[in-house]
Amino acid sequence: MKAFVVDGYRKQAALRQADMPIPEPREDEVLVEVHAAGVNLLDAKIRNGEFKLILPYRLPLILGHDVAGVVVKVGPRVRQFKAGDAVYARVDDFHIGTFAEFVPVKESSLAFKPAALTMEEAASLPLVGLTAWQALVERAGLKAGQKVFIQAGSGGVGSFAIQLARHLGATVATTTGTTNVELVRHLGADIVVDYRTQDFEDVLRDYDMVLNSQDGKTLEKSLRILKRGGKLISISGPPDPAFGEAIGAPGLVRLIMRMLGAGIRRRARRRGVDYGFLFMKADGSQLREITRLIEAGAIHPVIDRVFPFESTNQALAYVESGRAKGKVVVKVQ
């Protein structure tokens, strides 16, 4: 099968297009013929080596985390899916590889594709949808009437998280550039801060939650707009000790994580704020909850561009540029 492979960790290095053997699904996996694959900043960060301490992949590595496609083979312990089913998923860490014609996926991480969505639309959703769900619902327990600040509202995670927070009944604030103000308002943002002309710290006060996806300076400012008892959840770091324990990191790696996040945790405690790092995980049951929201019309995919499979490197470069409005997808089949 054709696939795009990382041979070594290098920033902005092109993935190598290679012929690889079609994988055999394990007992609890299905083999999916990939029709479309979402492209995420996480893919670039893994290629660059930014996660090699916490995700020590064996190279060469087929990249790609999001998939939509059709089941072609099932393992003997699989019960929910059969050949011919249209499915989608964020594949598990250490089992990634959706920039390929076929990928094995754990049954527990898989869900049926929403019938009304194209393969490209479905492939755009799992990673960003699960990230937003795990931050807003699982970790923050966001409720109607609360106020949430979602950074970078026109990006992949932001465009999904705004819709989810709106569905939950929260008041939603976000940041974006001038040209995307109407887009994020259409998605459900109540307060839009144009980062080119405004500083969100001058506009927002007493928020219940912040979903941080930006740099350290933005993280520090986010602390100051939260009320006591508020939650600051960051998907861009720094990691916390709970994350190190959750992934079973070696002792030295856990120590490094503890040191990296010590400052922000200390400052959060002083302000009576709960800080946590989120590195989302694959979860088929949560994806089914997201499917229900899609089918009810509460969530809509936001896709910027669809690239042909042979242009996967260009798609990844476009995501890295930071210009995408919503998601970028490659069409494989």
201 and 269 together in one domain: yes
Average pLDDT, the chain: 96
Residue 148: CATH number of its domain: 3.40.50.720
Angstrom distances, CA of residue 33 to CA of 20, 56, 75, 88, 102: 14, 26, 15, 11, 5
pLDDT at 241: 86
- The whole-number pLDDT of residue 300 equals 97
In a domain, 286, yes or no: no
Whether 295 is covered by a domain: the verdict is no
Express as a percent the part of the chain with pLDDT over 70: 100
pLDDT band of residue 9 (cuts 50, 70, 90) is: very high
Domain count, the chain: 2
Sheet holding 16-19, edge to edge: 16-19, 2-6, 61-62
Same domain for 153 and 205: yes
What pLDDT does residue 208 have? 98
Tell me, yes or no, whether 61 lies in a domain.
yes
Give yes or no: residues 71 and 134 share one domain: no
H/E stretch holding 132 reads helix 126-133
pLDDT value of residue 246: 84
Indicate whether 181 belongs to any domain: yes
Helix (H, G, I), strand (E, B) or coil at 309: helix
pLDDT of residue 253: 86
Q: 111 pLDDT exceeds 90?
A: yes
Same domain, yes or no: 121 and 132: no
* 90 and 187 inside one domain: no
Same-domain status, 114 and 213 = no
On whether both 99 and 155 belong to a single domain, the answer is no
Q: Residues 257-311: pLDDT tens digits?
A: 899 899 999 999 999 999 999 999 999 999 999 999 999 999 999 999 999 999 9
> Pseudo-torsion of CA 199, 223, 327, 305, nearest 10°?
20
At 59 the pLDDT is: 95
The percentage of the chain sitting over the pLDDT mark of 90, rounded to a whole number, equals 91
Which is more confidently placed, 141 or 322?
A: 141
pLDDT (0 to 100) of residue 11:
92
Exposure string for 48-77, b = 16+ CB within 10 A, e = fewer: beebeebbebeeebbbbbbbbbbbebbbee
Which structure tokens are listed for 89?
């998923």
Residue 108 belongs to a domain with what CATH number?
Answer: 3.90.180.10
Q: Does position 225 have pLDDT exceeding 90, yes or no? A: yes
Report if residue 49 sits inside a domain.
Answer: yes
Q: Is residue 90 part of a domain?
A: yes
Cis peptide bond upstream of 104, omega within 30? no
The model's pTM: 0.97
Residue 244, pLDDT > 90, answer no
Tell me: do 18 and 68 sit in the same domain. Answer: yes
- Strand pairing of 66-74 and 86-90? antiparallel
Q: Confidence band (pLDDT; 50, 70, 90) for 314?
A: very high
User: Is 283 inside a domain boundary?
Assistant: no
Quick one: how far is CA 151 from the chain centroid?
A: 14
Q: What is the dihedral of CA 122, 124, 128, 129, to 10 degrees?
A: -20
Q: Is residue 288 part of a domain?
A: no
> Are 157 and 270 part of one and the same domain?
yes
280 contacts 134 by C-beta, under 8 angstroms: yes
| Range of the structural domain that residue 209 is part of | 128-277
Query: 242 pLDDT band (50/70/90 cuts)?
Result: confident
Q: Burial of 93 by CB count in 10 Å (0-12 exposed, 13-18 middle, 19+ buried)? A: middle
pLDDT of residue 194: 97
- Are both 149 and 112 inside the same structural domain? no
Q: Which residues pair with 270 in a beta bridge?
A: none
Q: What's the rounded mean pLDDT across residues 183-201?
A: 97
Please determine, for residue 247, whether its predicted confidence score (pLDDT) is greater than 90: no
Domain match, 77 and 132 both = no
- Using the predicted structure, report yes or no on whether residue 14 has a pLDDT greater than 90: yes
Run of H or E including 222: helix 216-224
The three-class DSSP label of residue 22 is coil
Q: What is the pLDDT of residue 112?
A: 98
Bigger pLDDT: 141 vs 245: 141
**Does 148 lie in the same domain as 104?**
no
- Taking 90 as the threshold, does the pLDDT of residue 125 lie above it? yes
Q: Does the pLDDT value for residue 248 go beyond 90?
A: no
Higher pLDDT among residues 171 and 242, named by residue: 171
User: Which residue matches tokens 């998601």?
Assistant: 327
Residue 60 pLDDT more than 90?
Answer: yes
